[in-house]
Structure 1
Amino acid sequence: MTSTTAPTRVCFQLLVKPELLDEYIARHTPVWPEMLEEIAASGRRNYSLFLGEGGRLIGYYETDDDEAAQAYLTASAVAAKWEAEMGRFFIGLDGRPDQAATPLAEVFNLGAQLDAARAATPSTPNESTAS
């Protein structure tokens, strides 16, 4: 599906149990091929996970329709199996990790601010080429 609007950027946070960090990393190197295909089929792209100190996990992806992507994964038997296995890795999580992660508010985006700044600045003809 091609969209004429900017994609939705989604960032979320989870906390991995410190005693399970090595196993969590091993489960993602690599992720099941069929789960990778389901994520892509849902419409999520540029999906990354970043692991910080103390098990702080930050995830990021882009999508044209996050509600549709979420619904697709909710209905997926592959995703349900993956999430059921992954749930034990997280602290303070109630529900499937893909549905219960804490979303983060975007407060800055370089591309969006550059576009806005450029749109607000009137362009002036290049004086060296004026006749």
Structure 2
Amino acid sequence: MIRKGSIMRLFSGFEDEYKKRHSEIWPEMVEMLKKYGAQNYSIFLDVKTGNLFAYVEIEDEKLWNETGETEICKKWWAYMKDIMETNSDNSPVSIELKEVFHLD
């Protein structure tokens, strides 16, 4: 299993909306994430800074990297772009973190 961590940024004042949208995540989005190998996926919010920390375990890096090419993912990104920092293709601005420690 590959563990991945990343940081994204939520616009100020949208904390409740971000939580609401994820509590109502579309079933087809969940299905796609699982199909592309996502397991144990969590997102944490630092309410003081608006930083989001995402953690996911994946089966295959190449397969995971293909999620952004799916129509449902592009639709989700467009849905989220008004409440978080995004790139020109609507994907979230994301800083990938390098794992430096894991307690097994």
TM range (shorter): 0.7 to 0.9
Higher Rg of the two aligned structures = 1
**Structure 2, unaligned runs of 5 or more:** none
- The answer to whether 1:87 aligns with 2:78 is no
- The partner residue of 2:96 within 98, 103, 122 is 103
| Structure 2 match to 1:119 | none
- The answer to whether 1:46 aligns with 2:25 is no
- The answer to whether 1:19 aligns with 2:13 is yes
Shift of 1:67: 2.1
| Structure 1 match to 2:61 | 66
- TM-score normalised over the length of structure 1: 0.71
Q: Residues 66 and 87 (structure 1 numbering): CA distance in 2 closer, same or farther, change over 3 Å? A: farther
**Structure 1, unaligned runs of 5 or more:** 1-6, 112-131
After superposing on structure 2, the runs of 4+ consecutive aligned residues of structure 1 that deviate more than 2 Å are: none
Alpha-carbon RMSD = 1.4
Identity %: 32
Higher relative contact order (CA closer than 8 Å, sequence separation 6+): 2
- TM-score normalised over the length of structure 2: 0.87
User: What code does the residue aligned with 2:12 have?
Assistant: P
Which structure carries more strand by proportion? 2
